[in-house]
Structure 1
Amino acid sequence: MAPPLSRRSLFQAAALAAAVPAASVVPTARAAAAVAESPTASAALPAPAAWTVKPFALDQVTLGQGLFADKRELMLDHARGYDVDRLLQVFRANAGLPTGDAVAPGGWEGLDGEANGNLRGHYTGHFMTMLAQAWAGTGEQVFADRLRTMIGALTEVRAALREDPEVLGTAGKFGTAVENVRGSYQYVDLPSGTLGAASAVTLSAWVKPTHDGNWARVLDFGDNTTRYLYLAARNADGVPRFAITTGGPGAEQGLNGTAALPMDQWSHLAVTIAGGTGILYVNGAEAARNTAMTLTPAALGTPVNNWLGRSNYPADPVFAGAFDEFNVWSRALTAAEITGLQGSRAADSAAGRGDLASYAFDETSGGTFADGSGRGLTAALRRTWGGPSHPGFLAAYPETQFIDLESRTSSDYTKVWAPYYTAHKILRGVLDAYLATDDARALDLASGMADWMHSRLSKLPEATLQRMWGLFSSGEFGGIVEAICDLHAITGKAEHLALARLFDLDRLIDSCAANTDILDGLHANQHIPIFTGYLRLYDATGEQRYLDAARNFWGMVVPHRMYGIGGTSTGEFWKARDVIAGTISATTAETCCAYNLLKLSRTLFFHEPSPKYMDYYERALYNQVLGSKQDKPDAEKPLVTYFIGLTPGHVRDYTPKQGTTCCEGTGMESATKYQDSVYFTTDDGSALYVNLYSPSRLNWADKGVTVTQATAFPQEQGTTLTIGGGSASFELRLRVPSWATAGFRVTVNGRAVSGTPAPGSYFAVSRTWRSGDTVRISMPFRLRAEKALDDPSLQTLCYGPVNLVGRNSSTAYLPLGLYRNAGLSGDLLPSLTPVAGKPLHFTLDGTEFAPFHEGTEDPTHAYFRRSEPRVVFGGTDSGVANPAKSDGTTLLDEIWAAAPFAGKGALVARVRSTVDAWVAAGLLSAADGRTVVSTAQRATYAP
Structure 2
Amino acid sequence: MQHTSLKPADIRLLPGLFDKRRSLNRDYLLSLRVDNLLQNFLIEAGIGDQAWHLHPSSADPRDRGLDRHWGWETPGSLLRGHFLGHWMSAAAREIAATGDRALRVALDDVLLGLERCQQENGGEWVFATPRTYLDRLARGLSVWAPQYAIHKTLMGLVDVYRDLGDESALRIADRAADWILRWAASFDDDSFQAILDVETGGMLEVWADLLAITGDAKYTTLLGLYYRRSLFDPLLADEDVLTNMHANTSIPEILGAARAYEVTGEDKWRTAVLAYWNWAVPRRGTFCTGGQTSGEIWTPPFEFAARRGEKTQEHCTVYNMIRLADVIFRWTGETSCLDYIERNIFNGVLAQQHPRSGAVAYFLPLEGGAQKNWGSATEDFWCCHGTLVQAHTRHSQWAFYAAEDDALVIAQFIPSRAQVTVAAHVLDVRVELLETAMRVGPDANAGQAGARHRPDRWLARVTIRSDDGAAAPVRIRIPEWVAGEVGVQVSEGTSVSLADGFAHVGHRGGDTVVELSLPTALRSIPIPDEPKTVAFASGPVVLAGLVDHEPSLSARGSSPESILVPDNERQWTQWLLRYRTVGQARSIRFLPLHEIEDQRFSVYFPITDAQPAHA
- TM-score category (smaller protein): 0.7 to 0.9
Shift of 1:744: 2.0
* Equivalent position to 2:150, from 423, 426, 436: 423
The change in CA–CA distance for 1:626 and 1:545 in structure 2 (over 3 A counts) is same
Question: Alignment partner of 1:738: what SS?
Answer: coil
Q: CA deviation at 1:756?
A: 4.8
Q: What is the TM-score when the length of structure 2 is the normalising length?
A: 0.88
Instruction: For residue 650 of structure 1, report the CA deviation from its aligned partner.
Output: 0.7
C-alpha distance in structure 2 between counterparts of 1:831 and 1:643, whole Å: 27
For the residues of structure 2 that align with 1:405 and 1:694, how far apart are their CA atoms? Answer: 44
**Superposed CA offset, 1:71-126 (max 9, x none):** 11111121121112111111111111113453541110122xxxx41111110111
- Which structure has more helix as a fraction of its residues? 2
List aligned pairs for 1:286-325, cutoff 5 A.
none
Amino acid at match of 2:65: A
What does 1:854-933 align with in structure 2 at a 5 Å threshold?
854-869=595-610
Following the alignment from structure 1 to structure 2, what is the Cα–Cα distance between the partners of residues 697 and 737?
20
| Aligned mate of 1:509, from 210, 232, 246 | 232
Instruction: Quote how far apart the aligned CAs of 1:575 are.
Output: 3.4
What displacement does 1:683 show?
3.2
Q: For the structure 1 residues 816 and 830, does the alpha-carbon distance in structure 2 shift closer, same or farther, using more than 3 Å as the test?
A: closer
Distance 1:754 1:607, change over 3 A: closer
Equivalent residue letter for 1:690: I
Q: CA deviation at 1:836?
A: 3.1
Mapped partners of 1:133, 1:161: distance in 2:
29
Give the secondary structure class of the aligned counterpart of 2:124.
coil
CA distance in 1, matches of 2:556, 2:486: 25
| Mapping 1:769-788, distance limit 5 Å | 769-770=509-510, 772-788=511-527
Shift of 1:755: 4.5
1:71 equivalenced with 2:35 (yes/no): no
* 1:133 pairs with 2:93: yes
Which aligned pairs between 1:640-719 and structure 2 lie closer than 5 A? 640-655=360-375, 658-684=379-405, 686-702=406-422, 703-712=425-434, 713=436, 715=438, 717-719=458-460
Tell me the residue number matched to 2:69. Answer: 105
Q: 1:422/1:773 Cα in 2 relative to 1: closer, same or farther (>3 Å)?
A: same
Give the share of equivalent positions with the same residue, in percent: 27
In structure 1, the partner of 2:594 is: 853
Q: 2:165 aligns with which of 415, 438, 442?
A: 438
Aligned to 1:399: 131
**Residue matched to 1:801:** 540
State the AA in 2 paired with 1:803: V
2:107 is aligned with 1:143: no
Structure 1 equivalent of residue 347 of structure 2: 623
Flag the 1:792–1:480 CA change in 2: closer, same or farther, 3 A: same
Rg (Cα) greater in structure? 1
Please tell me whether residue 840 in structure 1 is matched to residue 560 in structure 2: no
CA distance in 2, matches of 1:561, 1:526: 20
Cα offset for 1:597? 0.1
State the match for 1:248 in structure 2.
none
**Deviation at 1:421?**
1.0
2:252 equivalent in structure 1: 529
1:815 corresponding residue in structure 2: 553
Where does 1:38-117 land on structure 2 (aligned, <5 Å)?
52-97=2-47, 98-100=50-52, 101-103=64-66, 104-111=68-75, 116-117=76-77
Comparing 841-850 with 142-151, greater Cα deviation is found at 841-850
Deviates more, 1:551-560 or 1:788-797: 551-560
Shift of residue 646 of structure 1?
A: 0.4
* SS class of match (1:509): helix
SS in 1 for 2:325: helix
Which string of whole-angstrom CA distances, capped at 9 and with x for unpartnered residues, describes residues 33-70 of structure 1? Answer: xxxxxxxxxxxxxxxxxx92100011111000111011
Deviation at 1:812, TM superposition (A): 2.6
SS of the residue 1:630 aligns to: coil
Evaluate the alpha carbon distance shift between residue 751 and residue 586 of structure 1 in structure 2; reply closer, same or farther with a 3 A threshold. Answer: farther
How does 1:712-727 map onto structure 2 within 5 Å?
712=434, 713=436, 715=438, 717-724=458-465, 725-727=467-469
Is the 8 Å Cα contact of residues 564 and 579 (structure 2) preserved in structure 1?
Answer: no
1:535 touches 1:603 (CA, 8 Å); kept in 2? yes
Where in structure 2 are the equivalents of 1:265-664 lying within 5 Å? 391-408=123-140, 412=142, 416-471=143-198, 475-477=199-201, 479-559=202-282, 560-633=284-357, 639-655=359-375, 658-664=379-385
1:714 CA displacement: 5.3
* Contact 1:679–1:689 (8 Å) recurs in 2: yes
Change in 2 beyond 3 A, CA 1:466/1:744: farther
Within 1, Cα distance between the matches of 2:427 and 2:200? Answer: 44
**2:311 and 2:364 in contact (8 A); partners too:** yes
RMSD across aligned C-alpha pairs, in angstroms? Answer: 2.2
How far apart are the structure 1 equivalents of 2:558 and 2:265?
55
Aligned with 1:769: secondary structure?
Answer: coil
Aligned to 2:449: none
Cα–Cα, structure 1 residues 561 and 461, in superposed 2: closer, same or farther, change >3 Å?
A: farther
Question: Is the CA contact 2:496–2:504 (under 8 Å) kept in the aligned structure 1?
Answer: no
- 1:890-912 deviation per Cα after TM superposition (whole angstroms, max 9, x unaligned): xxxxxxxxxxxxxxxxxxxxxxx
Deviates more, 1:452-461 or 1:59-68: 452-461
What's the offset of the Cα at 1:418? 1.1
Task: Indicate if the aligned counterparts of 1:782 and 1:829 stay in contact, CA closer than 8 A.
Answer: no
Q: Structure 1 CA distance, aligned partners of 2:176 and 2:394?
A: 25
Is the 2:310–2:367 contact (alpha carbons within 8 Å) kept by the matching residues of 1? yes
1:821-877: CA deviations, max 9, x gaps? Answer: 88xxxxx36842332325111111411111111141111111111223379xxxxxx
| Counterpart-to-counterpart distance in 2, 1:127 and 1:741 | 40
Evaluate the alpha carbon distance shift between residue 134 and residue 767 of structure 1 in structure 2; reply closer, same or farther with a 3 A threshold: closer
- Change in Cα spacing, 1:666 to 1:819, as seen in structure 2 (3 Å) is farther
Distance 1:454 1:124, change over 3 A: same
CA distance in 2, matches of 1:462, 1:78: 44
The CA distance in 2 between the partners of 1:159 and 1:109, in whole Å, is 23
* CA spacing shift, 1:816–1:429, aligned 2, 3 Å: farther
Q: Cα–Cα, structure 1 residues 864 and 590, in superposed 2: closer, same or farther, change >3 Å?
A: same
Assess, with a 3 A threshold, how the Cα gap between structure 1 residues 751 and 803 changes in structure 2: closer, same or farther: farther
Deviations 1:226-247 (A, max 9, x none): xxxxxxxxxxxxxxxxxxxxxx
The runs of 5 or more residues in structure 1 that have no matched partner are: 1-50, 163-390, 823-827, 872-943
Cα separation, 1, equivalents of 2:317 and 2:242: 14
Whole-angstrom distance in 1 between the partners of 2:136 and 2:334: 43
TM-score (norm 1): 0.58
Please give the secondary structure, in 1, of the residue aligned with 2:508.
Answer: strand
Q: Secondary structure at the match of 2:519?
A: coil
| Shift of residue 455, structure 1, vs aligned partner | 1.7
| Cα drift, residue 521 of structure 1 | 2.3
- Provide closer, same or farther for how the CA distance between residues 463 and 81 of structure 1 changes in structure 2, counting only shifts above 3 A: same
CA distance in structure 2 between the aligned counterparts of 1:161 and 1:734, rounded to whole angstroms: 52
Structure-2 change in CA distance of 1:816 and 1:588 (3 Å): farther
Would you say how many aligned residue pairs link Structure 1 and Structure 2?
566
Written as runs of structure 1 = structure 2, the 5 A alignment for 1:183-222 is none
